Amino acid sequence: MVEPTAVASIAIKSASFIKKYWYVIAIILLILFLLPTLIFATVLNILFPQLDEEDFLYYKTLTEESGISWVSFISYDVTRLDNYLKENKAEESVFDLIKISFTEYEIVEREKEIIKIVDGKEVTETVTYKEYIVIRDLELKGHGPVSQLLKSLDYVISEESMKVKNVILFLENLNEKEEYETKTHILTDEEITTDYDEAHKEWYYALVEILPLLDPSSEFNPDEFIIPDLINNPDIPSIWPTTGSVTSEYGQRRLTGTHRGIDIGNNTGTPVYSTADGIVIGVGTSGGFGKRIMIYHGTDENGRTYVTVYAHLSAFKASVGANVSQGDLIGLMGNTGFSTGSHLHYEVRVNGTPLNPRLFLP
Ligand SMILES: [Zn+2]
């Protein structure tokens, strides 16, 4: 593997913390909820980022034009929920990242008499002035309190109006009226992690560094991609991930969209190997992929980041955080997820973009 980056090693350290202490979390949950199914689901999902392209794009859409960094936002949700993102409503949690100061005044016109001396005589004169009486002085954060405030201001709540950029705009426009004073502040990474313990803090900052590298919409033109030297190069995916026959090529059109990987069919239980040296960053069940493993292979000399995906497995033979070498057994072929027969779906993602795995096969 190319120089293992510091980022990756921090990420792994914090991921292994979660792994090491999953039983503590499980016991607490057992006491709190006594719901074994919930525990099972939670433990299954205490893994390093299980984010797919759709998640990235959704988080990005939510933060668009709001000034909130999507990287901080994803890092926040992943660490806060210990990666249990399934039931998270990101369109609500995004409001955790802004702090709103809001003051409302009642403006009362008052009169008072003043005594002036005109030509040596005392003259009483009545003047009017405004008194600002504070009716509400709030500091709030979070979707619930924010939408309550908005309702009290007769803001029409809808999916569109509750986009964070529209809310910020509305609140800031309130300042044009004399009776309001509002300020929105976007939390910094330090502020977001104030109440975090050390391990979660480390995890958060590792994500802040690693997520931009995995961004599927980063400035990367696959057509300009220069394939590195693959022969005897353990740093770059360059061997077959398993044995069998290719049943579907990259780029084939299907009902669900274009095929982003290559399918290799063989019997369930056929060994699946890591195609380059790397660090296992994802082991878990992910929608249509079924049981899938993701491996991060570092960056080549042109700054391209490599991640490989192995889907529809029947069993895992590697755990999150493990260092693997090219050719190491990582799982067994299977038929999990959206799959109509035992096969391996294999992807090579360069800077987050799935390229044709054939480019990386001997
Ligand atoms: Zn496939």
Region class of 256: left (phi > 0), else alpha (psi between -120 and 50), else beta? alpha
pTM (two decimals):
0.52
Q: What is the pLDDT of residues 193-205, one digit of tens each?
A: 999 998 888 878 8
User: Packing angle between helix 53-63 and helix 70-80, nearest 10 degrees?
Assistant: 120
One-letter amino acid of 286: S
Structural domains for the chain = 97-188 (no CATH), 211-360 (2.70.70.10)
Q: Is the pLDDT of residue 22 over 70?
A: yes
Between the CA of 259 and the centroid of ligand 1 the distance, in Å, is 6
Looking at residue 28, what is its pLDDT?
78
Q: Which of 53-57, 147-151, 214-218, 251-255 has the highest mean pLDDT?
A: 147-151
Mean pLDDT of 291-296: 91
Residues in the chain, overall count: 362
Between the CA of 260 and the centroid of ligand 1 the distance, in Å, is 7
Between the CA of 277 and the centroid of ligand 1 the distance, in Å, is 23
Between the CA of 346 and the centroid of ligand 1 the distance, in Å, is 7
For residue 342 the two structure tokens come to 């035992």
Between the CA of 50 and the centroid of ligand 1 the distance, in Å, is 18
CA atoms of 160 and 140, how far apart (whole Å): 21
Per-residue confidence at 141, pLDDT binned at 50, 70, 90? very high
CA atoms of 29 and 6, how far apart (whole Å): 33
Q: What is the pLDDT of residues 161-189, one digit of tens each?
A: 999 999 999 999 999 998 999 999 999 99
Beta 245-248 vs 262-265: how paired, if at all?
antiparallel
Between the CA of 15 and the centroid of ligand 1 the distance, in Å, is 28
Between the CA of 247 and the centroid of ligand 1 the distance, in Å, is 9
Q: Which of 2-6, 42-46, 258-262 has the highest mean pLDDT?
A: 258-262
- Evaluate whether 250 touches 337 at the Cβ level (below 8 Å): no
b/e map 143-173, b = 16+ CB within 10 Å: beebbebbeeeebeeeeeebbbeebbeebee
Looking at residue 99, what is its pLDDT?
95
Helix (H, G, I), strand (E, B) or coil at 125: strand
Q: Please tell me what DSSP assigns to residue 96.
A: G
Between the CA of 245 and the centroid of ligand 1 the distance, in Å, is 13
Distances (CA, A) of 46 to 25, 290, 297, 303: 10, 16, 22, 30
Distances (CA, A) of 248 to 78, 257, 258, 333, 343: 33, 13, 11, 16, 10
Between the CA of 335 and the centroid of ligand 1 the distance, in Å, is 11
